[in-house]
Chains A and B, each alone.
Chain A
């Protein structure tokens, strides 16, 4: 990671790291504006924007009306005409209301205008379950947007990545969708000072291992790492890859790991069927790494269910550490 130029490491929460990235961007580039519902005076549904309105004023930290379609349309237009908007959805679930602007406009304008115009837009989506917010406020719909050519879709899993990847997204000439797991907002970790970027499209090997590969996204990276520690106690050495970007996917890192270990588990919170893990699995099956597989590929994803309100059921419908532990143990011992 690009930490050479930023030696001062201190700990911030994931939400603070995002706010710091936006602060740096607002302070150094007058084209940057923040838009979203209740991000101004209230500070954002998850207090990510915080008090930035006090520092930069309501012209640059703009509250938008309760119309995701309208707000997203303004953001797309602002990006086309020279600004660098960062648009926040209160919940990623509400992206459904703005699909026209995201899918049909932001993703396609560069192509339809022959490259004459691009849409340098950043959208932020608080995502995922675990907060007791039920079916319409807990989904993981990153794979929906990952299906659209013209978009980049990222899922930072650490405070350091959250800041560095947001700053990288602002430098991108095309729309970048950032899915931030709500449970991660309070997670603390080292974050370099000042401006730095972490490249989009590059996965991170969070733990090296030789017995099997676990490719995980977002919050699942931390569950996979916890499972890997337990696996090590049982003599199973798991490699954990944090995918970080689901579009474009880091093929090289995943395939190199599978060639080494011969076994693959994909762990992701979105619905298992037709999800991120299906794409990873197919990518491996279609590549030369297929010849290195010594067991079937295993997916652990969200259940075929809306996220329930009951806290126990809410836990049951997404992969948990024991699920990863069981699957990895079975796989490593040649029982799957």
Chain B
């Protein structure tokens, strides 16, 4: 009677493993303790030793997935007759007899009931139970597919059509450092945190980040027009009482920075506009709307990918982290209203080309040649004194995709 070589359980959560490679050929003699085959689970690869002496026959083909406890080969005694692979002895709990070893994939020994087999946190289970949702219908975003609270649909508020307009000062985050401070103004549907990659290359510089209305930690204000938006930011800038500042703005924040420089020329030492709005009529309305509308990482990710040249930068973790900053439905509604005010009908409803010709402080434009949100060709309206830095293979977020290059540029220029 040949001895079964079984797929061992090497990990608590393991239901099946893959025979990755055999160390011995069929018909070879092995001794107990000899390395027999390698298995792979979703977590690890390991070597399995022979549990008995014998001659190996009927090995499962390499690459075959086998449930734990099921045979992957048989060891025969010297002189024992080798025919077809023996039928698998059915375990007691087995509801129906197992198929022979030639089967490429065996079923788990005793399939647990669906809900028992689902990985979900206690909080997700509580929320799903309260909302009468079957966990089996959900997709988990946690480690190894664990369902977490944010994966339970009813756990999220629906987007309100309206929002309660708030008032108050814009949120300002300052970091200590030397020299003339850098004032950073982020773009639409972003916040001050988005400067982090660039900040890593601006060590020791005094930084002042302003959250635009309805963004980050600033109040969800009713903003009626681009002029309204500039007025609010200008008030915040004035309240900082800076003698001099280098102002850096991205996208919508770039347009705000330019308008600010136009009216506060004496306190702005230089102007850096990264893929700014305001220099032409076209803008990718679908992407803006898609980002503003998204309520989960899966629907946000495709739109985030339009922001960059290298889409692999937008992985699941990035999308999840980005969604986390956009969970407040009131904020999303407020941003949608803001977008409607400044980009009605998918058009940039404000024109800052004249302002770009008026400003006299050193000014530079930075643009990615693969920008799919605002065409880089808008930069060509700039007058001679404005420096133009075009980055190849870069999308709408040069400060993210080319953080080091732009950091160096700013460190030497400012």
Contact = CB atoms under 8 A, between A and B. Distances in A.
A293 B123 CA distance: 5
Contact of B125 (A234, A235, A291, A336): A291
A333 B122 contact: no
B121 interface: yes
A295 B142 CA distance: 9
Contact of B122 (A234, A291, A336): A291
Contact of B149 (A234, A290, A294): A294
Given A333-B317, A333-B320, A334-B150, A262 B143 contact: no
A301 to B, nearest CB: 22
A290 B125 CA distance: 11
B27 to A, nearest CB: 47
A295 B119 CA distance: 11
Interface string B301-340: 0000000000000000100110011000000000000000
Nearest to A236: B324
Given A294-B121, A294-B123, A334 B193 contact: no
Nearest to B151: A334
A234 B193 contact: yes
B121 A293 contact: yes
16 contacts: A234-B193, A235-B193, A262-B121, A262-B149, A291-B125, A294-B123, A295-B142, A333-B317, A333-B320, A333-B324, A334-B142, A334-B143, A334-B150, A335-B143, A335-B317, A336-B143
Contact of B325 (A235, A262, A293): A235
A262 B141 contact: no
Interface string A275-317: 0000000000000001111110000000000000000000000
Contact of B123 (A235, A262, A333): A262
- Chain A, interface size category, equals 10 to 19
A296 to B, nearest CB: 8
Contacts of B193: 234-235
A1 to B, nearest CB: 29
B148 interface: yes
A142 to B, nearest CB: 30
B325 A291 contact: no
Contacts of B143: 334-336
Residue among A293, A294, A333 having the largest count of chain B Cβ atoms under 10 Å: A294
Contacts of A295: 121, 142, 148
A292 B148 contact: no
Nearest to A295: B121
Interface residues of B, number: 19
Given A333-B317, A333-B321, A293 B141 contact: no
Given A294-B122, A334-B150, 16 more contacts: A234-B196, A235-B193, A235-B325, A262-B121, A291-B122, A291-B125, A292-B122, A293-B123, A294-B121, A294-B123, A295-B121, A295-B148, A333-B321, A333-B324, A334-B143, A335-B143
B84 to A, nearest CB: 47
Contacts of A290: 122
A76 to B, nearest CB: 45
Contacts of A291: 122-123, 125-126
Given A234-B193, A262-B149, A294-B149, A334 B141 contact: yes
Contacts of B320: 333-334
Contacts of A262: 121, 123, 149
Given A262-B149, A336-B143, A294 B124 contact: yes
A336 to B, nearest CB: 7
Interface in A219-264: 234-235, 262
B211 to A, nearest CB: 12
A256 to B, nearest CB: 15
B128 to A, nearest CB: 12
A246 B397 CA distance: 50
B148 A293 contact: no
Interface string B134-151: 000000011100001110
B288 to A, nearest CB: 22
Contacts of B148: 294-295, 334
Nearest to A293: B122
Nearest to B140: A334
A206 to B, nearest CB: 22
Nearest to A262: B123
Contacts of A294: 121-124, 148-149
B329 to A, nearest CB: 16
A334 B150 CA distance: 10
A235 to B, nearest CB: 6
A49 B336 CA distance: 65
